[in-house]
Structure 1
Amino acid sequence: MDEYLCDVYPDPYTNDLVSENPSSPKDQCFNVEIKHTETYVINARNFLSCEESQYHSFKNIPRDEMMQETTILGWLSSMTVPKDAHKVMVAKILDCARRMTLNKDKKVLYMRVDINITIATEDCDYSDDDNDDSDSDDDNDEDEEHRFVPASNSSIEELETINEQEGCVNCGKCAICFEDINVVSVQMPCLHKFHKNCIVDWLKISGFCPLCRFPMPSEEGEKEC
């Protein structure tokens, strides 16, 4: 696993749509919607990645049950979330739940959890039955044409340096070398972070973000301007 992120927040969209009625429970309960997204990075240097998302709903969870770590751990395990991500995610979900229960007037509390996991792997299906071989060859030729155009020196020098808090759990791993990002990282305009040496070496060969293919300015582009 390269990195994992977890955003937890009250779901304002559902809260606005649903009005409670006399059948609402006497005690507070939770309806939890979880979006679990896994991004598989096959070869960062060749911009190969694919993404899969699944949605899970847990309804009418009593307040006392919601406040137990075992409840949330059961959800994460059923979604095959890696165990080393459990501790951080459980803490975030419990913290949000506690804050939501402060609203004593609400009996049904709606929570949204977005889990994003990036995984380095060599297995992913990129076949596209809707495209014939000629289209695939054309796409590959176009990729090859643009893949090795380096970014301009000025755009590399302007990359933002980020000083994270030491021990930050969201710093993740560098998608180029797959090693932990410790404290200092460099952030691309697309907001992806890497080791400085890794991304500088990368951009001197290819001016595209290794994760999302965001294009950096090139020397050729600057000359044309």
Structure 2
Amino acid sequence: MDQEIENTRTDCWLEKIEDPEMELGCTKLVMEIEATITYPARYSEEEEDGDDEDYSDINQILAQDSNSYEDTLELNFLMDDNNGTAPTRFMMEQISSKLFDLNVPFRDHESIADKILNDVFAVARDPSRKADGKILCMRAVIHAFGEELGDEDMDIDPKFVPASKSALEKLERAIVVQVSTMCSVCREELVAGSEATRMPCLHLYHESCIVEWLGKSKYCPLCRYSMPSD
């Protein structure tokens, strides 16, 4: 019987609601995030030593090699014109950026961000909590299943594997909204309000910098997100 491994599990809960010292004009989220990443382990030939034992139980072939990380996310809620509380792209990007800091696999960012925002907005919409203009202090605990690079990936030197031309053409443009954002290629500042080029992993760069970089390496300079190659 095949066994499936759940990649992620995210639990969120409200710890308290605080009154701000000064009027905020919006509801603010302060969330403590703890992420535990568990990585698989493969048996080497020496470890197996020719043993024909059936490792059908996934718990027998996966080592409990886990690393935990913790950080704080601060986020202002962005409401739409219809007074809805649907997650916006900006908030998704902010959460994804924090998940990168916590070493959460990129493939799980969207589902985790959806879970976090849905739970946060459920709290904010609850009239009994009267959270408008307050500070929501919440906590999220994430359990993610990481992926180790295979032997072929480990043998590849990224500088000899450029991204495909079609992948470069699909790069998006974005307006820099955060101050002190730096292009990790040239190490110079991306000026707030200016246009930058955004990779699928949401990291921003000067267009000329990232195009030149991806012409040599398909990997994001910051997180090693892999772009398609020919």
Which structure has more helix as a fraction of its residues?
Answer: 1
TM-score (norm 1): 0.38
Under a length normalisation based on structure 2, what TM-score does the superposition of the two structures give?
0.37
